[in-house]
Structure 1
Amino acid sequence: MQIEIIETPSLGDRSYLVHDGEVALVIDPQRDIDRVLAVAGRAGVRITDVAETHIHNDYVTGGYALAQQVGATYRVNAEDEVSFERHGVRDGEEFTVGTMTVRALATPGHTFTHLSYAVTPADGSDPAVFTGGSLLFGSTGRPDLLGPDHTEALANHQYDSAHRLADELPEETRIMPTHGFGSFCSATQTTGDSSTIGAEKRQNPVMTKNREDWLAELYDGLAAYPAYYRHMGPANSAGPSASRLERPERADKGVIAEALAAGHWVVDLRSQRAFAESHVEGTIGIDLQGQFATYLGWLIPWGTPLLLLGETGEQVDEAVRELSRIGIEDSLAGHATGGPTDWTDGEPASFPQATFAQLRDARHHKELTVVDVRREDEWEEGHLEGAVQHSLIDMGGLGIDSPVEGLPTDRELWVHCAGGFRASVAASLLARAGYRVVAIDDSFDNAADGGLEITA
């Protein structure tokens, strides 16, 4: 049995193609199914089955489109309410894919209808279990995505499901989760890049703690999750099409100016440094090499017309692919390539970048305000003395020249996060709103070493 891992780092997820050298099962495919087809082509295998562990909250699935295109059986929990034909899977059901035997296990917790798939090969290699958002590496999937009314019930289900997997599967069984590689679907931070049932029994808190202690730890670790998640379940229940990966129409300087004047989102895909050094006034910088789709999807008012600016067409293509995975495509209103002088006749804007050591020095000779744009849970763990908190995830509604309550307009705002990416995005949004900003491109771990006082 061979397991091909298809990574989607920007969303923190994995999809899988499992095969015996001739036929394959695909589990939790992302919407851009051309990647799955390419992996199957290189392996020389035929996809006969596509299975979902759950109706996903953090991306639009490619499962329905893939099954339709290759003529595979599409396996979704029989209890899920969907508007398309599928093979309804039930707990304990077994089916074969070539020489492999697959057993579905009900593992509710991330959702009420969550399934895991235990795959036993005929070649004597170790079995594997594809756990979706159930058992992760050192953690579990979060139980609060269906709303606060269901969190307690799902959390208890998650505990029971993890123990069911541990009780029913051999210790050498390899664990293959969908979430846990940066996805906000993980309840707490995951550990490592691979694991087995036996290893999780020894190290995962859901296994090593009693129910009450684990639940307390779980609830304490639940932080905010992206606003776009609420659109994913309905899209997946409707049987979404495959990604549309065509570039939106080309936009000239006039179209860009009109989009900015209309309050549309014009997003610059270039690096944090390039954006800070020179950009079109009013544009928003979201570095394509960061968690681009996660934060753009989190921040943008859903349905707002969106225009993409990239150095190259390939950069725009990558952004279009990323956005298609979370269902943003109909709002793509145009694109342009090159640099700021190609996008405007006006004078390009800029703002400084700095380190925490430079912040320490600047505080001695100028009046400034430090803005911490991390999440509330990060702020509570420790923050700079005298800083104000205004989380990036609350800035999506900022428009051009729109002030923020509690942020002064008569001094520089020195904006920081944990590592620089979110600070850069926030600085661009605040600059768009009319503030003078300095983006701190530095690790928060360096703040204390730089002589800045940390308080909790």
Structure 2
Amino acid sequence: MQIEQIYTGCLAQGAYYITSNGEAAIIDPLRETQPYLDRLERDNVQLKYIFETHFHADFVSGHVDLSKETAAPIVYGPNAICEFDCISAKDGQVFNLGNIKIKVLHTPGHTMESATYLLIDENGKEHAIFSGDTLFIGDVGRPDLAQKAASMTQEELAAILFNSLRDKIMTLPDDVIVYPAHGAGSACGKNMSKETVSTLGEQKATNYALRSDMTEAEFVKEVTDGLLPPPAYFGMNVAMNKKGYNSFENVLNLGMRALAPNAFEAAAEETTALLLDTRKNGEFAKGFIPQSINIGIDGDFAPWVGALVADVKQPILIICEIGQEEETVTRLSRVGFDNLIGHLEGGFEAWAKSGKEVDTVNRITAEEFATQVKIGESKVIDVRKESEYSAEHVEESYSKPLANINQWIKDIDPKEHFFLHCAGGYRSMIAASILEARGFRNFTEIEGGFNAIAKTSLPKTDFVCQSKVLK
């Protein structure tokens, strides 16, 4: 028996590859299927099952394409209704895989079809659970994502999750290994650990939601407290996972169409396409195509695209570093952005050499900021998360999280200058690009963000540990 966690950092997502005696199963696969197919061929095993823990909201799974390629059936938990062939398993149903067994534990609460898969090894021992978004390391799944579909309140779903955890998971042996679907950085929970594997015993001892003396009412209150609105793309990804989608290969072919500067400009003028520039924020600041939005491929690219672009059907034209075209298309497809027109051939350098219009961002260093800002007089906007701001910030600065930019941008006075920063420059450049695309030029962005500002003599609030802020 072999279990491998295939973790994708930019999505904070874990897929699982399991083999036993010539047969394989994959749990919660990513959109692109070729790496799985290559692995199956290399290991000389047959894919017998594709298990899905639930209808994912934060990414588009590769279950449909993988099933077409291998003829392996797609398995969901009870209550799952798909618009493609799938097995909606019964609670307690067992699937044989080589010399091991995988048992379905229906664990609703995050969603009503959520299932945890219990792996029983060759000796009949309960070895591991693949808990999806039911149980994370240090947290549990948020209970508000299925409200509309389930016609329930988040409190009702949280109560169901409480009982799923107590009746189906906490009754298992303490040495059972816990393999969750996500780790720190995912929007599917509130305060997940950076660790991606644990044991049930460790979680019983350290996970606030598994306290043995916790009442249902206390659980509901703690799990629902402080939930931020889910990103706009979540519902659209759920629909794609339920209904099916365009094949990844077709999406890749669209995004890999190379458009010379003149053709790129014509496509931008003739469509409502978003110009998405995925270069590093420092390069973007020095020069970019007017109206383009910078979301760097080297950061939390896909989640930020999903959070800030309202519609997964939005047409997109890509500007990226030469050689990063396929990676950019792949990451966009993972969150359902399939309507790709093509990419700029030769990258931004080709655009600049063609003599076409170029824009810039007014960026200064943290040291320059320290000499220019007047605490209490100058306006400083901090686009980090509220928890980061609460932990420590420049005195008299305003907390305006990037995720909420479409709300707070309406309050910006175009005649009043302000300074703009995040933690390191990634998010503030996203904000800067959006501001400039909306016509705002009255700001200065800070290179290196708060990490650099903290090294200056500027007055800051006393540091508070973020783990305490989040509790």
Fold similarity call, TM over 0.5: yes
Partner of 2:466: none
Change (3 A) 1:219 1:301: closer
Which stretch shows the higher mean deviation, 412-421 or 375-384? 375-384
User: Conserved in 2, the CA contact under 8 Å of 1:119 and 1:129?
Assistant: yes
User: Conserved in 1, the CA contact under 8 Å of 2:383 and 2:400?
Assistant: yes
Change (3 A) 1:301 1:191: closer
Rounded to whole Å, the distance in 2 between the matches of 1:37 and 1:442 is: 41
User: Conserved in 2, the CA contact under 8 Å of 1:353 and 1:438?
Assistant: yes
Change (3 A) 1:382 1:181: closer
How far apart are residue 63 of structure 1 and its match? 1.3
How far apart are residue 140 of structure 1 and its match? 0.8
CA deviation map 1:266-324 (0-9, x unaligned):
11111111111222222111100111111112212313321001121x31111111111
User: Conserved in 2, the CA contact under 8 Å of 1:413 and 1:435?
Assistant: no
What amino acid is the match of 1:266?
L
User: Conserved in 2, the CA contact under 8 Å of 1:9 and 1:181?
Assistant: no
What amino acid is the match of 2:170?
D
**Aligned counterpart for 2:309 among listed residues 290, 300, 325:** 300
CA deviation map 1:176-208 (0-9, x unaligned):
111224211123232423201111111111112
Rounded to whole Å, the distance in 2 between the matches of 1:365 and 1:50 is: 57
Partner of 2:205: 202
Rounded to whole Å, the distance in 2 between the matches of 1:164 and 1:3 is: 26
Rounded to whole Å, the distance in 2 between the matches of 1:369 and 1:81 is: 52
Rounded to whole Å, the distance in 1 between the matches of 2:459 and 2:112 is: 46
Summarize the alignment of residues 74-153 of structure 1 with structure 2, pairs less than 5 Å apart.
74-122=74-122, 127-147=127-147, 149-153=152-156
User: Conserved in 1, the CA contact under 8 Å of 2:232 and 2:310?
Assistant: no
**Aligned counterpart for 1:230 among listed residues 212, 232, 235:** 235
**Aligned counterpart for 2:285 among listed residues 276, 295, 304:** 276
Partner of 2:420: 415
How far apart are residue 86 of structure 1 and its match? 1.6
Summarize the alignment of residues 426-437 of structure 1 with structure 2, pairs less than 5 Å apart.
426-436=431-441, 437=443
**Aligned counterpart for 2:360 among listed residues 350, 358, 364:** 350
CA deviation map 1:250-278 (0-9, x unaligned):
22223333455565311111111111122
Q: For 1:136, what is the secondary structure of its paired residue?
A: coil
- Identity over the aligned pairs, expressed in percent? 29
Summarize the alignment of residues 165-180 of structure 1 with structure 2, pairs less than 5 Å apart.
165-180=168-183
What amino acid is the match of 2:321?
E
How far apart are residue 395 of structure 1 and its match? 3.8
Summarize the alignment of residues 256-267 of structure 1 with structure 2, pairs less than 5 Å apart.
256-261=264-269, 264-267=273-276
Partner of 2:465: none
CA deviation map 1:34-73 (0-9, x unaligned):
1222232333321111111111111112113212321212
User: Conserved in 1, the CA contact under 8 Å of 2:288 and 2:359?
Assistant: yes
How far apart are residue 449 of structure 1 and its match? 5.7
How far apart are residue 108 of structure 1 and its match? 1.1
Which stretch shows the higher mean deviation, 252-261 or 132-141? 252-261
User: Conserved in 2, the CA contact under 8 Å of 1:369 and 1:412?
Assistant: yes
Change (3 A) 1:16 1:389: same
In the alignment, does 2:454 pair up with 1:454?
Answer: no
Q: For 1:319, what is the secondary structure of its paired residue?
A: helix
Q: Structure 2 length as normaliser, TM-score?
A: 0.87
What amino acid is the match of 1:64?
V
How far apart are residue 407 of structure 1 and its match? 1.7
What amino acid is the match of 1:439?
E
What amino acid is the match of 1:440?
I
CA deviation map 1:119-174 (0-9, x unaligned):
01116887111000011111111111123743111212222222234433221111
**Aligned counterpart for 2:372 among listed residues 362, 366, 390:** 362
Summarize the alignment of residues 316-355 of structure 1 with structure 2, pairs less than 5 Å apart.
316-329=325-338, 331-344=339-352, 345-354=355-364
How far apart are residue 15 of structure 1 and its match? 0.7
Q: Structure 1 length as normaliser, TM-score?
A: 0.89
What amino acid is the match of 1:233?
V
Structure 1 stretches lacking a partner, 5+ long: 398-402
How far apart are residue 214 of structure 1 and its match? 3.6
Partner of 2:448: 442
User: Conserved in 1, the CA contact under 8 Å of 2:77 and 2:106?
Assistant: no
User: Conserved in 1, the CA contact under 8 Å of 2:209 and 2:223?
Assistant: no
Partner of 2:321: 311
Q: For 1:135, what is the secondary structure of its paired residue?
A: coil
Summarize the alignment of residues 367-406 of structure 1 with structure 2, pairs less than 5 Å apart.
368-375=378-385, 383-395=393-405, 404-406=409-411
Q: For 2:190, what is the secondary structure of its paired residue?
A: coil
Which stretch shows the higher mean deviation, 86-95 or 355-364? 355-364
Rounded to whole Å, the distance in 2 between the matches of 1:374 and 1:27 is: 33
CA deviation map 1:319-340 (0-9, x unaligned):
11111112211x2112114343
Which stretch shows the higher mean deviation, 271-280 or 250-259? 250-259
How many residues align? The count is 449
Q: For 2:259, what is the secondary structure of its paired residue?
A: coil
**Aligned counterpart for 2:190 among listed residues 161, 167, 187:** 187
RMSD: 2.8
User: Conserved in 2, the CA contact under 8 Å of 1:21 and 1:44?
Assistant: no
CA deviation map 1:62-118 (0-9, x unaligned):
113212321212212241122222222011111211101111101112101110000
In the alignment, does 2:252 pair up with 1:249?
Answer: no
